[in-house]
Amino acid sequence: MKEFAAIDFETANRHPASVCSVGLVVVRDGMITDKFYELIRPVPNYYSYWNTDIHGLDYDDTAGAAPFPEVWGRIEPLIEGLPLVAHNSPFDEGCLRAVFGHYGLDYPGYVFHCTCRMARRAFPRLVNHKLPTVAAHVGFDFTRHHHALADAEACAEIAIRIFG
């Protein structure tokens, strides 16, 4: 697979629809061709301590951000016809389905592939298959874990290496 979009969401709280940032990396012909990052006003619009502790975002960061449908309107043309790739894809796909549902949007049935599962098969001897571990194994300099764009970049690099 030489064409795909790696995607990562961060959430504000325990609700999967509470996406507060998105990172996207588009890969065409095995090369990164586009990157996208944006903050999103989450629903429900509150931050749990635990989520903020993980990614560093809080209410003030996203109070003036656009709602999901507006942000997704900018993403949709970038990913048209592409499968989506995420590390631990059930989380990101669950977020996407939940936020589409919250806004009453028809979910277009995106096809997801999981780099965590792929890495378990491709690199079975790693101590674990967490994103930083796998990213380091493929030579990606990963310094901003849980920043949605950095996570999407790491995911894209892992997928490029595995699909190579």
Higher pLDDT, 141 or 35: 35
Are the CB atoms for 64 and 84 separated by under 8 Å?
no
Return phi, psi of residue 108, to 5°: -80, 5
Are the CB atoms for 30 and 163 separated by under 8 Å?
yes
Residue 164's nearest CA partner among 132, 118, 127 is 118
Mean pLDDT of 151-164: 96
Name the residue type at position 66.
A
Mean pLDDT of 135-147: 92
Instruction: Please name each of the domains of the chain with its CATH number.
Output: 4-163 (3.30.420.10)
Dump pLDDT digits (tens) for 64-117.
Answer: 999 999 999 999 999 999 999 999 999 999 999 999 999 999 999 999 999 999
pLDDT band at 9 (very low <50, low <70, confident <90, very high): very high
Q: What is the 3-state secondary structure (H, E, C) of the chain?
A: CCCEEEEEEEECCCCCCCEEEEEEEEEECCEEEEEEEEECECCCCCCCHHHHHHHCCCHHHHCCCCEHHHHHHHHHHHHCCCCEEECCHHHHHHHHHHHHHHCCCCCCCCCEEEHHHHHHHHCCCCCCCCHHHHHHHCCCCCCCCCCHHHHHHHHHHHHHHHHC
Mean pLDDT of 52-63: 97
For residue 142, what are its two tokens?
């990963």
pLDDT at 64: 97
